[in-house]
Structure 1
Amino acid sequence: MSDAFRISLTDLRRQEGSLLELHRSIPAPDTFATALVRTIGDITVDGALQSVSEGVLITGTVECTTVAECARCLIEVEEDVNLDVTELYFYQDRAKALQESGDEEAEEVPLIENDSIDIEGLLRDAIVGQMSFIPLCSEDCAGLCSVCGERLADLPDDHAHEKDPSEMTALDELRAKLAAEEQGK
């Protein structure tokens, strides 16, 4: 946990309905990523902290930029992300009361510790959760030419390669091998 993600609650009264504005810009850590997509630059959080009977409710928007490589043509794709977040951070005594009442999910709730909250998990889950499993530069991306490897969108419509008739592809070689094996039976 980084101190950049820790928000002090000392200025927020513990009286229900009390509000504290939240404006923060945090450098995106390496952990805000998947195998294909990562967050770059700063993560901006704008919102409010509100005292409620169980703890502190955080609501707001998160803005950041993600970057990935298109799964079809391999160009770098940047995307501006704007998300709404909401999370309730529990006072420790309230979370303990929930656990004692048999609430099995109470062990997983985010807690207020040392009069502060840590929003790293909230932001990571929101940002990484919206990342694409298969990033694309566009839905109709044609990918790469299977012969020359160039991006098809950058090539003319009549792009083609002449195939040398004496040149055997791996598929032709496999087909010939299987035919020979079949004849040898």
Structure 2
Amino acid sequence: MKSKLINYWCKSLLMLFILSVAISCTTDQSQEAEKPNILYIMIDDLGWMDLRYQGNTDYYTPNIDRLAKQGMIFTDAYAAAPVCSPTRAAAMTGLSPARLQITNHIPDRWQFYNDKEMGPGRSVNQLDPKYNTIAERLKSKGYATGFIGKWHLSGPDGNAIPAEYMPTNHGFDINI
């Protein structure tokens, strides 16, 4: 009888211990983890040794050096294409230029060879709004987004770009 009573108390204490550990391990769901700031910089025609933090002593780049020191550096990434427009489209969407059908440079103006067949593949001159961009994904997570610089995904005529192809229709709050 005494051993049954001891066994009962041991099991009760063990259950109480497990319950208290389980309760203490829960987290308060109302505490939201702090979101990191994200600054994505994409530069055309920049060599891997063109910045001081990479070892170049010919140029003084203190702000870029500070960003590199305090942030993340992606050293094993490669451009999706040898020209800017397909690379930009791939970086914005995470899709290959071929899937986006942006396989060539989108000119600032019509080029003399536009009426000639360049090859078997079709190449479009703008990023279709049906593709989700990194900005749209970040906005869905509560981020404010902005685009500054060369978009080059809106077609050939810089003066008559339809609003549907502008950065503000691809998830960016502002476009400068």
TM-score, normalized by length of structure 2?
A: 0.20
Could you say which structure has the greater relative contact order, defined with CA pairs below 8 angstroms and 6 or more residues apart? 1
**Could you say which structure has the higher helix fraction?**
2
**Could you say which structure has the higher strand fraction?**
1
